[in-house]
Structure formats: C-alpha cells, structure tokens
Amino acid sequence: MAHDQLLESLLLALEIPAVWLLEPRNAQLCRVHPTNPVLKIEWEPFYASIREGQFLEPEALRTSCFSNHAHFLPKECGAEVASLGSRYLVFFSPAPLPRGHLRAVKDYFAAMEEHQTLRTSFEEHRLVNDTVLNLHRLFLGKFNIRELLLRVLEYVKDKLGYSNCAILLLDSERKALRILAAINYLDDVVRDIRIPLGKGITGWAVLHDEVVFVPDTHADPRYIPGAHDIRSELAIPLKAGTQVIGVLDVESGVPNFFKKADLRILEPLAAIVAIAVENARLYTELKETHADLADSFFQSVEALAEAVEAKDAFTHGHIQRSAYWGITLARLLNLDERRTENVRLASILHDVGKIGVPEAILLKPGKLTPEERIEIEKHVEIGAQILQRIRRLHEIVPIVMAHQERWDGVTEGPFHGYPRGLQGEDIPLEARIITVVDAFDAMVSDRPYRKRLGYDKAIQRLEEEKGRQFDPRVAGIFVNWLRENRKPRDPDK
Ligand SMILES: [Fe+2]
C-alpha cells in the first residue's frame, strides 16, 4: 500500500497521467497507475505500434492495437515505452516525457523489483526449509508406504496451495502409469485409470525423464483434459538409480501458478519419494520370496513328519494335535513369535528320529525288552542328527533332544527321562511344553500294547505327574486350558 502511494505521488509530481506494466511473456498489460484489472493484449502488433524511445501520438494510439481497450486509455494521451528488464513500462501523457522523468519512474520500479525479489527469495527460502524439515519428520517412523505418501501429498497440497497432487508409478511392463497415491486428483471412479507411457504431461515426463513445467495447460498440446479444470501443472520424474519408476505430479486451477521455489521443494521430495517407493517394493518382494521359501520349507517339514507318522499307523494325527496344543501352550506362556514357531516345528518334528527305529519294534504289540527300549530311545538322537543338517531347524535341535527328559531328573525305571538326564529348568521350556502335550496325546491315543485313556483320566494323570514327569507350571496351565475347553481339537473328527 505504501508503495502504491509512493508511486502515485511520484507520478503526480512528474505529471504523468498513467503507467502500465507490460509482461510480454504472457502478453498481459497491467495498469499500475491508476490501478485496474489486467488486460490481455497481443504483443506483436503492440510492439509494432510502439518501440522503445518512440512516442505514439494520441490519434495514432487510438487507432493502433489499443483500439479494443480505448475506453481504458487516459484521454488525449499518447504513449511511449521503456524496458524494465524482461518487462516494459508504458507511459501515457499528452506529449513526450522528459528523459529524466522516465528514468525516475524506471529507477523506482527497479528498486521495488529488487525489494520484491529479496522478499520473495527470503520467503521461498523459508518455505523450502520449513517444508523439507516437516517432510523429513513425516518420513521418520512411517512404514506403510501408501499412508506415508498420502500424508506427504496432503502436507504438500496444504502448505503450497496446490489443487491436486499425485504420485504415479510405472507398471511392471513399463507401459502405463497407475496412481499410487493421490490427493483430490481424480474421482474414485477413475482412480484405476492407466496413463499410457508418453501420453499426457505425466506420461511425457516419464518417457523423456524430464521435469515438465506447464504454465498454461490450454496452450500445451501434451495436456489431456480431465475431470478438473487444470490450468497449470508440474510433473517431476521419480528415479530409482538411473531408471524412471514414476512421477510426482502437482496441478493448479490457476495459470502460471508454479514458481521456481516449487521445484526447489519438489525435486528433493521426488528423490526421497522414489527411494521410499523403491525400498517398499524391494521389501515386499523380499517378504514374498521369504514367504514362498517358508511355505515350501514347512511343506517339506510336514512331509518329513508325515513320512514318519505313516510308519506307525497308531500315532495317526499325533503331530497335528501336538502342534495345536504346543502352540496353544506357548501362547498361554507368553512366548514370543519366534519361540512359538519353534514349539510348532518341534511339535511336528520331535519324533522324526523314529524313522531310524525298526518297524518291528515301533509296532510291537507286547511289552518291549530292555534292548528294544534302548532302540526306541535312540529316536531322540537320530532326530537331532537329522534336524541338525537343516539351518533353520538348528534352534529346535535342543528342544527335540530334551523332549523325553523328566522335570524331576529321574533316569531309572520304566518311565525314566533320557538321553541326558536333565532336570528342572535345565530342560528348555519349549521341550517341557512338548513333553506335556506329547504325553497327553499318547495317553488319549490307542497304542499297540494298550487302549487309550479317557480325557478325564488323562487330565488326572497330568495332575499326578506335576513336578515329577512334567514342569508343574506348564502342566498346570495345560490342565486348566483342557478343563475350560472340554472338547480338545481333534483333527481326525
Ligand atoms: Fe518322543
């Protein structure tokens, strides 16, 4: 305001009725004094009419390219122009102005321009700093890529005043762009849109690996009109290494909306977004490969366990039940995910060593001789040796090794612990879980040499063996769980 008044006093003192400012870049003429709305004029005929240092007489002015705007022209005035950097000042007066007057006004505008540039650059600098700092904060601690990008776009849109912003990614065949995240960009219905590579502003930016600055979409043949009336657009390619993987696109309903400061914010942002997107893609790929590997690994493990089970028709369903009860107990004991998974694997594989025990002994209907008993007991160490060869199963080797040990450490008698005679908490907790569920399942299953016990009887046996064969805490928790879940899951039924 103060600047306007200053200019007004200056023009009054110099007896200059009016000054307009002409922007040849967009052919806009702005009457800076007295102020009024911006006029659009054609630059070429204008420049043919008035060249610098030449005064256009009042009559000539009214019949020149100004005739369309005659009602805006000051009465009985001619015109002359003076350049002001890339712009022109148009002075209106009845007669040519003294050179000194022109120079005074030009100096005034130059000073104002410098002031404005400094101010803008200071504000832009502050905006860039603030934005980059806040975006950096946004990136910290965010793992869901889509959610992260939406937050980033929302922030950018609010802070910088864009109408729409979107991040589009090139599909795996590198033929079309798809929207990964968008704010106000397109309606949900057309969000599935595919933009062919090379088409539109975004497709062009990706194909040519170039930033596209569009001051006026109506004047750019690459622009494909969409649902919103977009007047200016800025598209910045996203790059992972040397490859373009997508584009960051911002739009505005106002022509000439984007400035150099936007690029100074959006270029580094595009670089960060590209890294985040690429990392997320690699992470997903890695997770899928890992899941595939894990699936095929568990399938092999189960196949192995089933091969053992097939040797002994009487233990059918044993591994599934043991695994179910094992996981249940591990969760009740608050074991973490990894240890729970180890309990599951050990439940399935604890008797895998039986593959090395002769069937005649395994399936013998009568009582075992001491020698046969020794043969059967070897299944623990044979199992450990088999599993030792598989890296992922190293952690369950000590569990398998200890699943036949007793809490009280007794190593004599028909139900002694083996092979090392470990006791109490020297036995891994995972193994103490397997011991309880393995024994319980044995009790409720038919064996070649005896009939199964009923559930109540088997629960009672667990109670009696607390602190003897079984860890009292583990057995106690299992008994409570069995009582609360009267019908334990039986995969056979
Ligand atoms: Fe066993």
- Are the folds of 2-120 and 141-284 the same? yes
CA 29 to ligand 1 center in whole angstroms: 94
CA 381 to ligand 1 center in whole angstroms: 10
pLDDT in tens, 432-446: 999 999 999 888 887
Q: Bigger pLDDT: 490 or 60?
A: 60
CA 385 to ligand 1 center in whole angstroms: 14
What was the pLDDT predicted at 361?
Answer: 84
| CATH number of this structure's domain 141-284 | 3.30.450.40
Task: Supply the mean pLDDT for the chain.
Answer: 82
Per-domain residue ranges of the chain: 2-120, 141-284, 312-484
| CATH number of this structure's domain 2-120 | 3.30.450
CA 349 to ligand 1 center in whole angstroms: 9
CA 487 to ligand 1 center in whole angstroms: 25
CA 434 to ligand 1 center in whole angstroms: 9
What was the pLDDT predicted at 492?
Answer: 40
What was the pLDDT predicted at 136?
Answer: 61
CA 378 to ligand 1 center in whole angstroms: 10
CA 354 to ligand 1 center in whole angstroms: 8
What was the pLDDT predicted at 385?
Answer: 86
CA 351 to ligand 1 center in whole angstroms: 5
CA 481 to ligand 1 center in whole angstroms: 23
CA 304 to ligand 1 center in whole angstroms: 15
What is the percentage of the chain residues whose pLDDT exceeds 70? 83
User: Can you tell me the mean pLDDT for 208-220?
Assistant: 92
Contact 277, 181 (CB under 8 A): no
CATH superfamily for 312-484 is Hypothetical protein af1432 (1.10.3210.10)
Token pair 């690994």: residue: 297
CA 377 to ligand 1 center in whole angstroms: 8
pLDDT band at 480 (very low <50, low <70, confident <90, very high): very high
Picking from 56-60, 71-75, 293-297, 385-389, which range would have the lowest pLDDT averaged per residue?
293-297
pLDDT band at 229 (very low <50, low <70, confident <90, very high): confident
What was the pLDDT predicted at 199?
Answer: 92
CA 285 to ligand 1 center in whole angstroms: 39
What was the pLDDT predicted at 491?
Answer: 43
Residue 118 has pLDDT above 80, yes or no: no
Residue 210 has pLDDT above 80, yes or no: yes
User: Can you tell me the mean pLDDT for 302-309?
Assistant: 70
Packing angle, helices 318-332 and 260-311, rounded to 10? 130
